Amino acid sequence: MQQVASGDQRVYATLVADYLGPISAYAQRMTGNASNAEDITQEVFLRLWLKASEFDATRARLTTWLHQMAHNLAIDQHRKRHREVSLEVIDVPDPAVTSGSSEEPYPVAQALLQLPERQRSALALTYYQDLSNREVADIMGLSTRAVESLLVRARSAMKVRLEITQ
């Protein structure tokens, strides 16, 4: 990260290549909208370039730091969108993005988007990003127990939502 902080574009390009897929997928799962996910992903990598000197490897792994930025940006975007629109509207994922590039059925993506943002984030980080409960807790600023509780509630809510669609 010191090399990126000093302006090494090759190292930066390597990091972008390594983390673009996971960060983009997480942003897509959090927003359900390809355009919003792309905005979040671009902002994460812009911040990586601008704030590389602030990264502290003793406090978090790089993947945790990047996911935390994506998480915070998704929440900020969600709050901003809901301030602008008085009615609660859930974005439906772009079918070309959801069904064309993923193996999950459309009802799963729809059910995921209907979860409260903290439950959705915990599920996406745990199952789609394959992070440990400790890493998810660090990203979300919660205790491990709180993450475990969120996951139990999220799995239960997903089960109910998916039973309704069948």
Give the model's confidence band at 164: pLDDT under 50 very low, under 70 low, under 90 confident, else very high.
confident
How many angstroms separate the CA atoms of 30 and 33, rounded? 8
Give the closest residue to 69 by CA, choosing from 115, 7, 26. 26
Res 70 pLDDT > 50: yes
What lies within 8 Å, CB to CB, of 90 at 6+ separation is 32, 113, 114
Distance CA 106, CA 62 (A): 31
Query: What b/e sequence results for 62-92 when a residue is b if at least 16 CB atoms lie within 10 Å of its CB, and e otherwise?
Result: ebbbbbbbbbbbbeebbeeeeeeeeeeeeee
Does 153 score more than 60 pLDDT?
A: yes
Give residue 95's pLDDT: 46
> Domain 2-165 sits in which CATH superfamily?
PhyR, sigma-like (SL) domain (1.20.140.160)
pLDDT of 22 higher than 70? yes
High-pLDDT (> 70) share of the chain, %? 84
pLDDT band for position 88 (cuts 50, 70, 90): very low
Mean pLDDT of 123-142: 91
> Mutual orientation of helices 9-31 and 34-50 as an angle, nearest 10°?
150
Once rounded to an integer, what is the mean pLDDT over residues 113-136? 90
What mean pLDDT do residues 128-149 have?
A: 92
Cα 8 to Cα 30: distance, rounded to the nearest angstrom: 31
Asked if 125 contacts 151 with a C-beta cutoff of 8 angstroms, the reply is: no
Q: Is the pLDDT of residue 103 over 70?
A: no
Helix extents (H) in 51-140:
62-84, 95-101, 106-114, 117-123, 133-140
